[in-house]
Structure 1
Amino acid sequence: MRALYDSKSKLDDRGIKALLSETEKYRTWLKVEAALALAQAEEGFIPREAAEDIASVRFEDLDLEEMDRIKARVGHGFVPFVKVLVKACRGEGAKYVHYGVTTQNIQQTSQLYITKEVNRVFKSFIADILDNLGTLAGDNADTVMAGRTHGKHAIPITYGYKVSVYISELLNSLERLEECEKRVFVAMMGGAVGGFNATGRPGRRIQERVAETLGMRPMDVPSRNMSQMKVEYLMNLSLLCNTLHKMAEEVYYTGVEEFSEVSESFTPGTIGSSTMPQKINPKLAKGIIANSQKLYSLSTTGLYSAVRMFEGDSSSYMLFDGLMEEGLELATEVLIRGEELTRTLHVNRERMLQNVNLNRGLDNSEYVMMNVAAKLGKDKAHELMYDKAMKVELEGRDYLSVLLEDDGITAMFSEEELRSMIDPASYTGLCSEIAAEMAGKAKAAAGELRARLG
């Protein structure tokens, strides 16, 4: 088991699991071998008839049972595929299957091709998540709540502002994912050590044509000892999922009864516990948190393996094959949950307002201080308001009454002005504006991304 599965793993993955199947892997090997043969024929490296023979082989023509029998006998992961492909050819193609290349050329190119296809689906999820977050930010641009730093109340914000943080990070992650495509989705046809020893000068043109056929880019140096592009992609997936993880953590914890600010929507009939009938658990957030945390570890493992010596190392290939598949599966589990979470999240506006007033007005002490500072200076104002705030905290008193009993303060401000100053809704800065702005950016980015995906 690579990813961490639960009942929410049944959500629609939009075909990703099929793309990561053994069947799709073999289909892609065949696709890449066909692209190679046709490219070699274009360069006059093999006969055109042979290339067309290889390209005409269908997946259904391959004897997979025979492939398994050969694998048990020869102990090689790819040669059995070559053997059954040779047998499936009807003519001269049998002489030119897998001509001038090595196993990793086909396997790595195939894996990165599949990753490219999965990445398209990932981006469709990102588009929907951005759209969902845009709605969430826009609808809650003015929803006042407590801003918190170091685990304690700070000053008021709006929930839409909090969502704008998620939007900003996701836009950055999308930019990284798309920018890295030219380095990650690359074709490698350089042969045993990457120097085109078997194909010579035509080898580079063959590699370029294979890449073009597959919608990829050719590697500048097709060395079998280059894996940084895989580590980069895993890191980018980690950063993408990290934002959904951040959101899930807040849902997980601020959904507890003591907060009750945001929570997953409840579907009647959903069961949270086998022994506690009342339980309504954060199922989506749980899966996002667990799968994200496991995903983060893959990049570190990959960095250690990317430095293996010499021009090729099968232990590194074996590890990266697993890391890439695991990374794609983990990210899938995060994204399918992230889309539903952002679309169905319940925001308890009343409880947010109640919680921001728990400190009896203290959350606005900075606002009062800044008004006092305009008359006394910042340092004196800070000292004065610190004394008032500590009196509220230590004596359990109401902030307004403490302010009103100070003749110096009442000489500067009326009761109505002070009452307005400690109203959380009066001190959210540009939170509403930022939320509305980022809601618009999220909606626009979602639309543009969908247009690019077609």
Structure 2
Amino acid sequence: MAASIIDSSIFQGIFSSDAMRHVWSDENRTAKYVEIERALAIVQARLGIIPQEAADEIVSHCHLDQIDMARLRQQTERIGYPILGVVTQINQRCRDKLGEFVHWGATTQDITDTATVLQIREGLALVDADLKGIADALARLAEAHRLTPMIGRSNLQQAIPVTFGYKMAGLLSAVLRHRERIAQLKERVLVGEFAGAAGTLASIEKGAMDTQAGLCAELGLKQPVIAWHTIRDNIAEVGTVLGLIGGTLGKLSMDVKLMMQTEVGEVYEPYHHGRGSSSTMPQKRNPISSCYIHAAISVVRQHTAALLDAMVADHERSTGPWEIEWISLPETFCLIAGALKQSRFVVEGLQVDAEAMRRNIEMTGGLVMSEAVMMGLGPYIGREYAHDLVYDLCRQSLADRTPLIELLAAHPEIRRHVDRAALEAMLDPANYLGQSGVFVDRVLDAHRRQAGA
């Protein structure tokens, strides 16, 4: 019986992904607990802290299939934490009381936090793989439409021409930065936790630091400089980066939704029969993936705030803030996986209508080129005066529904300096794309460098 959107048998494939749901599943989480207990026994036997015979016996029972999950639920509900239940089950399977050496010198939070880091490592790999796919698709769109003119918009009003490639390159630049952030935060976040009750490792008289170093090495994690039981900037950083990624995906979905409007029609989400259709209006083609992205990343942002709140922990072991992470971190990863999945689907199959883009530029009869005209006339009559003159002619064009070129060509002061051909060149969107192509090329170069790294 599933009650959340992430585990819903109906919606789970829309708002998350199977791979990410596995990462944060009870089974994988418990497998990580068992993996850590196994590694701890191996390292401590190597250091002579526990008998080799005990380690061999413990390791032989450190397998997920030897954990009774129904019993673990009962133990967790009784105790409040699952680690002791796992330790007890391993211990009871061992012969001759050798299981008493399992979990030697560790505390519940050591195992829980280290397991969380192992899950984060797996989750970030999935996130980065989708970001790479999105980056590659955006790069293809940016290159293919490097000089495809479209209208830029300011306050939802037509502004000046840009190119569709420029628009895609802007999104690509953010995705590249997100991949850099993931690479950078791994150095700070993929760090184990083994510090004992209050973080001092007092529970191990000899070989405490060697145990910590060996355990982290066995798990492929960095050794912590000091305990981080209640110093949670690392977890909050992960949540913040996922929130930033969600913001970029939200920007993508917002623009796609707006460009898919019937009156605009510049791009469309990939078409499949029946996708995005209405139960009552057969003509509709709804931006369904963009809607899912918007919803998912909005909740991710709330979880990001919760993870920041979880940083405010009391003393050396906290009373509640830690548990916030148990709720928010898995949902953050699962929802961002769904948003990434939908975003990748959109950009890899985006349908672009360059003719509609050109038509929308031309719908104002040249008014969107007023800045180009103002700048073109500036050297002759002064920029400020040119601005006021063109402003008045734009108002007249709107009032009389007269194409701007006719008013410009007929104005005596303008005619003294430029002819109609020059005015038509000023009004050509292709001549007023600025450095759009250069910016696209710079972002594509950055993408190639990152891909080759």
TM-score by length of 2: 0.93
Match in the other structure for 1:386: 391
Partner of 2:101: 96
CA contact (8 A) 1:195 1:223 kept: no
Q: Distance in 2 between matches of 1:110 and 1:159?
A: 44
Contact 1:4 1:330 in 2 (8 A): no
Q: How does 1:81-230 map to 2 (within 5 A)?
A: 81-90=86-95, 93-200=98-205, 202-230=207-235
CA drift of 1:66 comes to: 3.8
| Cα gap change, 1:374 to 1:440, in 2 (>3 Å) | same
Sort the Cα spacing of 1:238 and 1:2 in 2 relative to 1 into closer, same or farther, 3 A.
farther
Q: Aligned to 1:29, which of 29, 33, 41?
A: 33
- 1:326 equivalenced with 2:331 (yes/no): yes
Give, as a single letter, the amino acid of the residue that structure 2 aligns with 1:22: D
**How far apart are 1:156 and its partner, in Å?**
0.4
Residue 196 of structure 1 deviates from its aligned partner by: 0.9
Which residue of the other structure, out of 302, 305, 308, is the alignment partner of 1:303? Answer: 308
Instruction: After TM superposition, give the deviation of residue 49 of structure 1 in Å.
Output: 2.5
> Is the 8 Å Cα contact of residues 8 and 284 (structure 1) preserved in structure 2?
no
Contact 1:142 1:432 in 2 (8 A): yes
Aligned residue in 1 for 2:295: 290
Task: For residues 111-130 of structure 1, give each alpha carbon's deviation from its aligned partner in whole angstroms, at most 9, with x where no partner exists.
Answer: 11011011111111111111
Letter in 2 for 1:388: L
Deviations 1:424-450 (A, max 9, x none): 1111111123223323433543454xx
Partner of 1:418: 423
CA separation of 1:12/1:76 partners in 2, compared to 1, >3 Å: closer, same or farther?
closer
Q: Following the alignment from structure 1 to structure 2, what is the Cα–Cα distance between the partners of residues 48 and 110?
A: 24
8 A Cα contact 1:362 1:389, kept in partner: yes
SS for the counterpart of 1:306 is coil
Q: CA deviation at 1:42?
A: 2.8
Structure 2 residue 43 is the aligned partner of structure 1 residue 39: yes
Aligned partner of 1:50 in structure 2 is 54
Corresponding residue SS for 1:154 = strand
The one-character-per-residue Cα deviations of 1:11-58 (angstroms, maximum 9, x if unpaired) are 993722222211111111110111112222233222223223222322
Q: CA offsets per residue over residues 369-420 of structure 1, 9 Å max, x none? A: 1121122332222222222222223332211001011122112112111111
**Contact 2:6–2:15 under 8 Å retained in 1:** no
**Contact preservation (8 Å) 2:266, 2:353:** yes
Report the Cα offset of residue 166 of structure 1.
0.3
Aligned equivalents of 2:305, 2:216: Cα separation in 1: 29
Aligned-partner Cα distance in 1 for 2:103–2:144: 57
**Rounded Cα–Cα distance in structure 2 between residues aligned with 1:194 and 1:59:** 28
Alignment RMSD, CA only?
Answer: 2.1
Distance 1:68 1:308 in 2: 27
Note the alpha carbon deviations across 1:272-296, whole angstroms, 9 max, x for none: 2222223221111111110001101
Matching of residues 297-446 of structure 1 within 5 Å: 297-446=302-451
Instruction: State the distance in 2 between where 1:309 and 1:69 align.
Output: 28
Conserved in 2, the CA contact under 8 Å of 1:133 and 1:439?
A: no
Give the Cα separation in 1 of the matches to 2:116 and 2:47.
25
Q: How far is the alpha carbon of 1:200 from its aligned partner?
A: 4.3
Verify the 8 A CA contact 1:208 1:218 in the aligned structure 2. Answer: yes
Give ranges in structure 2 of 5+ residues lacking alignment. none
Structure-2 residue corresponding to 1:280 = 285
Q: Residue type matched to 1:30 in 2?
A: V
AA partner of residue 171 (structure 1): L
CA contact (8 A) 1:265 1:345 kept: yes
Q: How many residues align structurally?
A: 448
- Bigger mean CA offset, 46-55 vs 280-289: 46-55
Residue 187 of structure 1 aligns to a residue whose secondary structure is: coil
Q: 1:204 to 1:432 in 2, by over 3 A?
A: same
Q: Which structure ranks higher in relative contact order (CA pairs < 8 Å, sequence separation ≥ 6)?
A: 1
User: Of the candidates 13, 26, 31, which is equivalent to residue 9 of structure 1?
Assistant: 13
1:104-162 per-position Cα deviation (integer Å, ceiling 9, x unaligned): 11011101101101111111111111100000111111111101112211110000000
Q: Tell me, yes or no, if the aligned pair for 1:136 and 1:160 is still in contact at 8 Å.
A: yes
Which of 223, 238, 241 in structure 2 is aligned with 1:236?
241
Where 1:218 maps in the other structure, the secondary structure is coil
**CA distance 1:61–1:24, shift in 2 (3 Å):** same
Whether the 8 Å contact between 2:307 and 2:329 is mirrored in structure 1 is no
Q: Deviations over 1:165-205 (max 9, x none)?
A: 10111111111111011222221100111111112462222
SS of the residue corresponding to residue 198 of structure 1 reads coil
More divergent stretch after superposition (117-126 vs 86-95): 86-95
Q: Which amino acid is 1:334 matched to?
A: A
Q: Within 2, Cα distance between the matches of 1:366 and 1:69?
A: 71
Consecutive unaligned residues of structure 1, counting only runs of 5 or more, are 449-454
Q: Decide whether aligned partners of structure 1 residues 66 and 268 sit closer, same or farther in structure 2, where only a CA change above 3 A counts.
A: closer
| AA partner of residue 313 (structure 1) | S
Are the equivalent residues in 2 in contact too, given 1:130–1:446 (CA < 8 A)? Answer: no
- TM-score normalised by length of structure 1: 0.93
Query: Is the 2:16–2:338 contact (alpha carbons within 8 Å) kept by the matching residues of 1?
Result: no
- AA of the residue aligned to 1:51: A
Cα separation, 2, equivalents of 1:278 and 1:29 = 53
SS at the partner of 1:193? coil
* Cα distance in 1 for residues equivalent to 2:428 and 2:330: 52
